[in-house]
Amino acid sequence: MNAASTWKPLAVLGTAQFLMVLDASVMNVSISQLVEDFDTEVTTVQAVITLYTLVMAAFMLTGGKIGDMFGRRRVFVVGLVVYGVGSGLTAVAPTVGVLAVGWSVVEGLGAALVLPALAALVAGSYRGRERAVAYGVVGGL
């Protein structure tokens, strides 16, 4: 196996990890603009952001079990689709309630499918020193 094909899975997995972290960071940085756009309170937007983390954490074990049952790669892809649907809903949200459903619930469920599958796919794709490097890259993102 050549070097390019060896690290291709890591590019996909790393990009997914980066997207999850970036999306959460963007929401935190955008709090004041979201308050203005939705004519709401800071605590409301903070609650929406916190709910995302709670949904993701609450369903992380379930997401891992679903990956075990149906295949990690398949669940990873389904999770990315769910996450994308949530992102689309979040982008067009006319109210803070729709924002909460798109961002907190749908994206949170998507992340709960993606993240356990991502970790398992790294473990399954690399051995030895390559595995350590792959986890280092994903962790660094």
Question: Which tens digits make up the pLDDT trace of 49-69?
Answer: 999 999 999 999 999 999 999
Domain spans of the chain, in order of start: 3-140
Q: Who wins on pLDDT, 130 or 101?
A: 101
pLDDT at 39 over 90: yes
DSSP the chain: --HHHHHHHHHHHHHHHHHHHHHHHHHHHTHHHHHHHHT--HHHHHHHHHHHHHHHHHHHHHHHHHHHHH-HHHHHHHHHHHHHHHHHHHHT-SSHHHHIIIIIIIIHHHHHHHHHHHHHHHHHH--HHHHHHHHHHHHH-
